[in-house]
Chain A
Amino acid sequence: MTVFGDLFQWLSGGPDGYMSLTHCMKGDTFWIILTVMLDLAVTLGYILIARHWWENEKSLPNSQAKLALRNMKQIFLFCGICGYLFIPIKMFWPAWRLYDLFMIGLVFFTWRYALNARQLRVVYHELGRTKQLAFELEESRAESKRKSFFLNAISHDLRTPLNGLMLQADLAELSLAGEDIESLRDSLREIKACARTTADLLGSFLELGRLDWSDDPSREASFKLKELIDQVVDRNRPQAEAKGLEIRVECPAGIMVCTDRQKLDRILQNLVGNGVKFTPRGHVAIVSSRSGPNLVVDVSDTGVGIASDQFETIFDEFYQVNNRERDSTKGFGLGLAIARRLARQLRGDLHFDSEVGRGSRFTVLLKGVVRDGISPAAELNGTPSATTGATSASLGRR
């Protein structure tokens, strides 16, 4: 008999021992109880591990750790199922002692894993927390970057006209000393222009702050929309004509709205002003319509347009399309930020659609502001009103 043969014989219960588990279970209570206890212990270990998995898998964020836990669970479940499938085989297989040794090992490792899993829970919790902290850190960095950009823009846009103002004041002193009245007059004119630019920026900035930080109740009043649009157009016509731009209006004369006139005026002024500013040729169109009690005003242009990668930042304060170096002739970049805040204050919103090189379309939607009892001609339903006599805007949806 070889060493292997002796070992196999011992594992099989010896020449006089049990030849299989079925054989053993027929007569020996000790082995029956031991086998059942081992099976129960392994089952309990499995239950504890499974509980740990299910609990922690839920708390873990999507990560490599979660994937690893899920894979480990599947491997362990596969092994467990295979183990129980092995039971019918072991009932008749002669090496039943080998089975019991295997089971003792399995109990040891199962329970060690189950006990370690309690500590792993802390690790998983920390992993989840780390992920959350990383997300918060990223948010905080983005906010910090936004604030830096904001401060830098204010710094530049305020210091530039102040610089002009101070240098012109220096020049005015020299002109006065040299009795150069013409130069002095020029300097005073420039000083006034610089002061006005600074005041405009401060005014816009304070308006933005007021919209963000204080309650500014809307003063609702009923008025004809056409009158308001005409006022806005008249205000922007000189700049448009200077650039050879056409301003097209399509607004039914009968639409009456009840909202804060001053705020709606500011929204339209900012949109039309931007349209004129950023359109080198072509036209700016203002098209208004109603949808039940809701008012829709489209301000579109054939200007430079906005690239899709800039869509998210277009309403940010001080952001300007294609003006990273803050060319002061393009304004401060507060107009759209203010317009959207005002639209939201009026229970509405401001959306846009744009394509580089083709132009932009800004849509103001104000809910429940159109007053009933107006002329049916005011219902546009997508066709121009005969009362306007205006050219239909030719911008398709871009």
Chain B
Amino acid sequence: MVEDDLASRKALGAILSRQGWEVLTAANLAEAHPIIETRPDVLILDLMLPDGDGASLLRQIREQDSKTRVVVTTGTSDSARLARVYQLKPDAVLFKPIDLGMLIKAIELPR
């Protein structure tokens, strides 16, 4: 999970851990790159990160042709930015504040 907001990161990490997921977290792009190298099953990705655009990670995953499911979570309302994200074909895009039930459904669906 790549999320810069500490409260969201801690809460979601704890919830998913309780559901049996092994959760690796990153607060920015720099921390996220080593996690991406491990080819996780699911990536929960925030777009606006302190050191850059989260969409670059999505692009990297799509270029790697990895089987990682990518669920984008964002608080942005910038339609141009969202259009660029949709072009990279994320498995789901959830707008903050996210609905936990929808997030869980999104990460559990097979690719």
Contact with B along A311-327 (1 / 0, CB 8 A): 00000000000010111
Enumerate chain A residues within 8 angstroms of B51, measured Cβ to Cβ. 325
With A183-B14, A325-B50, A327-B50 as given contacts, are A163 and B77 in contact (CB-CB < 8 Å)? no
How far does the Cβ of A26 sit from chain B's closest Cβ, in whole Å? 84
Contact assessment for A328 and B97 in the assembled complex, using a CB-CB cutoff below 8 Å: no
Interfacial residues of chain A within 143-167, with CB under 8 A of chain B in the complex? 148, 151-152, 155-167
Selected from A151, A183, A325, the residue in CB contact (under 8 A) with B77 is A151
Contact assessment for A163 and B48 in the assembled complex, using a CB-CB cutoff below 8 Å: no
In the bound complex, CA of A187 to CA of B50 (Å):
24
Contact assessment for B5 and A163 in the assembled complex, using a CB-CB cutoff below 8 Å: yes
With A156-B48, A325-B53, A326-B48 as given contacts, are A167 and B11 in contact (CB-CB < 8 Å)? yes
Interfacial residues of chain A within 221-276, with CB under 8 A of chain B in the complex? none
- CB of A38 closer than 8 Å to a CB of B: no
Chain B: CB-nearest residue to A157: B75
With A159-B96, A167-B11 as given contacts, are A148 and B4 in contact (CB-CB < 8 Å)? no
Enumerate chain A residues within 8 angstroms of B85, measured Cβ to Cβ. none
Selected from A157, A163, A187, the residue in CB contact (under 8 A) with B97 is A163
Segment touching B, from A168-176, A294-302, A358-366, A373-381: A168-176
Enumerate chain A residues within 8 angstroms of B78, measured Cβ to Cβ. 148, 152
Chain A: CB-nearest residue to B81: A152
Majority SS at the chain A contact face: helix
Interfacial residues of chain A within 339-370, with CB under 8 A of chain B in the complex? none
Chain A: CB-nearest residue to B103: A167
With A167-B100, A325-B52 as given contacts, are A152 and B77 in contact (CB-CB < 8 Å)? yes
- CB of B18 closer than 8 Å to a CB of A: yes
Contact assessment for B100 and A170 in the assembled complex, using a CB-CB cutoff below 8 Å: yes
- CB of B98 closer than 8 Å to a CB of A: yes
How far does the Cβ of B39 sit from chain A's closest Cβ, in whole Å? 25
- CB of B10 closer than 8 Å to a CB of A: yes
Contact assessment for B11 and A160 in the assembled complex, using a CB-CB cutoff below 8 Å: no
- CB of A193 closer than 8 Å to a CB of B: yes
Enumerate chain B residues within 8 angstroms of A148, measured Cβ to Cβ. 78
Contact assessment for B76 and A155 in the assembled complex, using a CB-CB cutoff below 8 Å: yes
Among all A-B residue pairs, the 3 with the closest Cβ atoms = A164-B7, A159-B75, A167-B11
